[in-house]
Amino acid sequence: MASAAVAAVAQVSADDPEVLYKDRENLASATKAADVWAARLAANPGDFESAYRIAQARYWLGTNGLPEKERKTALEAGIAAARAAIAIDRGRPEGHFWMAANMGALAESFGLRQGIRYRGPIKDALLTTLQLDPAFLDGSADRALGRWYFKVPELFGGSNKKSEEHLRKSLTYNPNSIISHIFLAETLADLGRKNEARKEAQAAIDAPFDPDWTPEDRRFKEVARRLLHKLAR
């Protein structure tokens, strides 16, 4: 009887997308979580949470370890899911933010055409997120806008000054954001402020793991270590 109860609990956990997604470093678990949310959205097209969670999961899959062809497909599916979330409730930030995230990953990883195609929509989606909830995910819209201004050429609206402003703003919501410190370090290095950049890279290395974002933070800390080594030259 006890073993049957344990098996039942294990089966529930195996079908719970939240439990599966916590184990997202195992790509099979992340894929299954996305599939469960997708099935829920198909069964209930008004399921806002499942729509944006698909977009979040597809972003993770599209930026972590899949073969290139599969990564592009995952990110495009993430954009579609985020658009579905926006259609359900455009007054919430989740759909706008995860649409920008998936577009940004496509723009950064799949060539100039993708960058040109998504440059404007990414900024618009992030500005909408910022307008709806500046504190969303600890200032993630400001962080992403800071990266947008860093990555986009000045001719098309990029600005290291604006990048720094947005990244520093994002750190007011979470001073321990590892990725915000890394992005700020790269912007400062590009501005020729190498000593400040090194301090930001070290801050990323020293920051504690966020229990909700440990898989991401583990990867970011490796990026910070490589960046600090580069800045030490």
Q: pLDDT tens, position by position, for the chain (233 residues)?
A: 545 433 333 444 678 999 999 999 999 999 999 999 999 999 999 999 999 999 999 999 999 978 888 999 999 999 999 999 999 999 999 999 999 999 999 988 876 666 678 899 999 999 999 999 999 999 999 999 999 999 999 999 999 999 999 999 999 999 999 999 999 999 999 999 999 999 999 999 999 999 999 999 999 999 999 999 999 98
Assess if residue 222 is contained within a domain: no
Instruction: Tell whether pTM > 0.85.
Output: yes
Assess if residue 205 is contained within a domain: no
CATH number of the domain to which 66 belongs: 1.25.40.10
- Output the CA–CA distances (angstroms, integers) from residue 119 to 91, 103, 135, in the order listed: 22, 8, 23
Assess if residue 109 is contained within a domain: yes
Task: Please count the structural domains in the chain.
Answer: 1
- By residue range, what is the domain housing residue 119? 13-133
Q: Which of 28, 76, 14, 84 has its CA nearest to residue 53?
A: 84
Assess if residue 105 is contained within a domain: yes
User: Residue 180 is inside which H or E element, if any?
Assistant: helix 178-190
The tokens of 181 are what?
């410190």
Rounded Cα–Cα distance for residues 148 and 119 (Å): 8
